Amino acid sequence: MTNTNILPPEVINPESECDVLILCDHASNHVPKEFDSLGLEEMSLAEHIAWDIGAEQITRKMCDMMGMTAVIQRVSRLVIDVNREPGRDSLIPVVSDGTAIPGNRNLSFEQTQNRVEAYYTPFHQVIEECIAHRLKRGRTPLIIGMHSFTDRMAGFQRPWQIGFLWNKDPRLAQAMIGMLERETTLTIGDNEPYSGKDLYYTMQRHGADNGLAQTTIEIRQDLAKNEKQCTEWAALLCDVLEELLERSDLMSLKHY
């Protein structure tokens, strides 16, 4: 791909001393011009199939509040989904929640590799560098995946307002769930609305595989659609994380 306009991932507060690292892999619905909107109408690109609505705004607000580092992907998950294993069919989806993605049909190996090299590999390399820098200095950051989910899927009205995903290491998810259950009246999902045992690539690769406590946070999109709501979520999550940073069981390496 000979394109000088490729958007690399954005790193917020790269020199932060805060031991929380947020990874926002579905932050943007941007589709670079060379992909001709993937054959989709603008309306479709504004929907949840293209991005996790509210996730970037909450991430930025948390970084402002706590000064933590975040890595933000700046192209749509429909161009390439960085939270998928290499070779997985949904890495470059041809259908998303019932919507066909014409620009992703019948891609050649070269076309697929161009997207991998332009947008997938750089995102994960930047994260690896952020984590390696901290581990080298003897720091063990908490790893947070910031996501959001639709209030309705396949005809099912999802009751959860926030969910925490995990795979083999439940430390951070269970700690955050426990605190929110004590301090709020939120309906909280434990491995809901998805299970981290099925879909957890970014967290597994950068958190669990390094022995770091990690969880994916899922916030319901109808509760994160404006600045006030995003600010409230950011403040709540920062309050929880500030307290959890004092827990030695979370700030140690643990391989499962």
> What phi-psi label fits residue 225: left (phi over 0), alpha (psi between -120 and 50 degrees) or beta?
alpha
User: Residue 54 has which token pair?
Assistant: 């509210």
Return the pLDDT at 6.
87
Q: Give the residue from 68, 60, 55, 85 showing the smallest Cα distance to 199.
A: 85
pLDDT of 4 > 60? The answer is no
- The topology (CATH level 3) of 10-244 is Aminopeptidase (3.40.630)
Cα separation, 225 vs 57, in Å, equals 10
**pLDDT tens sequence across 78-89:** 999 999 999 899
User: Residue 105 has which token pair?
Assistant: 């049909």
More confident residue, 148 or 256: 148
Cα separation, 164 vs 147, in Å, equals 10
State the residue for tokens 């581990």.
135
Cα Rg of the chain (Å, integer): 18
**pLDDT tens sequence across 172-221:** 999 999 999 999 999 999 999 999 999 999 999 999 999 999 999 999 99
SS3 readout for 19-53: CEEEEECCCCCCCCHHHHHHHCCHHHHCCCCCCCC
Percent of the chain with pLDDT over 90: 93
**Burial class of residue 148 in the structure, from the number of CB atoms within 10 Å of its CB (0-12 exposed, 13-18 middle, 19+ buried):** buried
User: What is each CA distance from 24 to 49, 112, 182, in whole angstroms?
Assistant: 15, 22, 27
pLDDT of 1 > 70? The answer is no
Within 13 Å, how many C-alpha atoms sit on residue 215's CB side?
Answer: 22
User: Residue 176 has which token pair?
Assistant: 């955050």
**Domain ranges for the chain:** 10-244
Return the pLDDT at 2.
44
**pLDDT tens sequence across 46-73:** 999 999 999 999 999 999 999 999 999 9
Return the pLDDT at 155.
81
Single-letter code of the amino acid located at 166: W
Rounded to the nearest integer, the mean pLDDT of the chain is: 95
| Mean pLDDT value of segment 234-251 | 96
Return the pLDDT at 168.
94
Return the pLDDT at 3.
55
Q: State the pairing for strand pair 20-24/10-12.
A: unpaired
| Mean pLDDT value of segment 223-230 | 97
CB-based contacts of 215, cutoff 8 Å, min separation 6: 143, 144, 145, 164, 165, 166, 172, 173, 176, 196, 203
